[in-house]
Amino acid sequence: MSEIIAKAVDVEVLYGNHAALDKINMQVKKGDIYALVGKNGAGKTTLLRLFTGQNAPDYGHIEMFGETGRQALNKARHRTGAIIETPAFYPFFSAVQNLEYYRIQRNIKDKSIIERILKDTGLYEARNKKFKNYSLGMKQRLGIALALMHEPEFLILDEPINGLDPAGIVEMRKLMLKLNREKGLTIIISSHILSELANMATCYGFIDHGVILKELTASELEDIEKSYIKLSTNNDEAVAAAIAENINASAYYSMDDRCIMIPDIDISPSEKISRFVVKSGYDLYSLEIVKTTLEDYFIQLLGGASIE
Ligand code: ADP
């Protein structure tokens, strides 16, 4: 069984009568890039702040690196780097000067760390440029560099992609994958836009009104994203059985939808299906290729609510 890096157990956070987090149970395993996805106000920041120690749960508890008590948790947090709010950088300082400032302030002895993390975050070439002249994506990456300064094993990032242009999103995705695959970091990253985290996350937790509605692995989400064929004939049960026997074993008759469903259209293209139905002597009433996008899934999960 893989090691659990961070875990929330029956966690509740209350603001007056309002539960910002309502009996949350979730866990981040070693090696994961865990995408925490939810609309604004869903409870993402509140949950991440529990792991950084900026908030404490009113009920339930959290675990980090297998530790639970207050002191042990604080120690475990030394193995964690985070950006919850944008860190304060001096606009007229370069990236090197800003990081050097924090290195001294945090009493980190190893001077060479700055060069290393600037290289890791792709900022080395621009290391002497003033912070005020950085793009938003570069500013975000400098924030990540700062979070990496004490060489953590676990990285907590709250909406680091928010406001980035498409090129900035690609850069951020590359950086996350590099830190995860090459440096072995476990990462939890939040966003209110699911597609921003696609092709990056290894698992997804969907949060709404302080509740984790669903957790899925990346491959489970990929299955949802796949296209499928939906068809209707004059004898759906018989046709479903015939298709399952002759073309695609995964075809079935859906009583709920009152039609035949064929997942995995790669092995059963629509022309082949329609030809087979007609040749077998049945009437084909309709055939539709349905594609569920990630955003469709997300909206459906949130009960048709809009994302913003
Ligand atoms: P997200 O990060 O998903 O946008 P938050 O965790 O910031 O959501 O907020 C979750 C809920 O808790 C929201 O309803 C928000 O208004 C409320 N909330 C967050 N912080 C506070 C606070 N300090 N005082 C009162 N309510 C808060």
**159: CA distance to ligand 1 center in Å?**
14
Predicted pLDDT at 266: 66
Site to probe by mutation for ligand 1, drawn from 45, 162, 190 as the one with most ligand atoms within 8 Å of Cβ, is 45
Q: Which residues contact 80 (CB under 8 A, 6 or more apart)?
A: 51, 52, 64, 152, 153, 154, 155, 156
Predicted pLDDT at 6: 97
Q: Whose CA is nearest to atom 17 of ligand 1?
A: 20
Predicted pLDDT at 21: 97
Q: Which of 230, 225, 231, 216 is nearest to 291 (CA)?
A: 225
**20: CA distance to ligand 1 center in Å?**
6
**3: CA distance to ligand 1 center in Å?**
30
Predicted pLDDT at 1: 59
90: helix, coil or strand? coil
Predicted pLDDT at 81: 94
Angstrom distance (rounded) from CA 233 to CA 244: 15
Predicted pLDDT at 3: 93
Site to probe by mutation for ligand 1, drawn from 11, 14, 15, 188 as the one with most ligand atoms within 8 Å of Cβ, is 15
Predicted pLDDT at 257: 84
> Is 137 near ligand 1, meaning CB less than 6 Å away?
no
Residue 118 CB coordination number (10 Å): 20
> Is 8 near ligand 1, meaning CB less than 6 Å away?
no
Atom of ligand 1 nearest to the CA of 47: 6
Q: Whose CA is nearest to atom 1 of ligand 1?
A: 41
**294: CA distance to ligand 1 center in Å?**
25
**43: CA distance to ligand 1 center in Å?**
6
Angstrom distance (rounded) from CA 182 to CA 268: 39
Residue 163: Cβ-neighbour burial (10 angstroms; 0-12, 13-18, 19+): exposed
Strand 59-64, strand 227-233: pairing = unpaired
Q: Whose CA is nearest to atom 18 of ligand 1?
A: 20
Are residues 276 and 15 in contact, defined by beta-carbon separation less than 8 angstroms?
Answer: no
**305: CA distance to ligand 1 center in Å?**
18
Domains of the chain from N-terminus onward: 4-223 (3.40.50.300), 226-291 (3.30.70)
300: left (phi over 0), alpha (psi -120 to 50) or beta: alpha
**234: CA distance to ligand 1 center in Å?**
53
78: helix, coil or strand? helix
Predicted pLDDT at 143: 94
Residues of the chain with pLDDT under 70: 1, 264-268, 303-308
Are residues 82 and 48 in contact, defined by beta-carbon separation less than 8 angstroms?
Answer: yes
Q: What Cα–Cα distance (Å) separates residue 124 from each residue in 94, 96, 114?
A: 11, 9, 9
- Residue 189's DSSP bridge partners are 35, 157
Predicted pLDDT at 221: 84
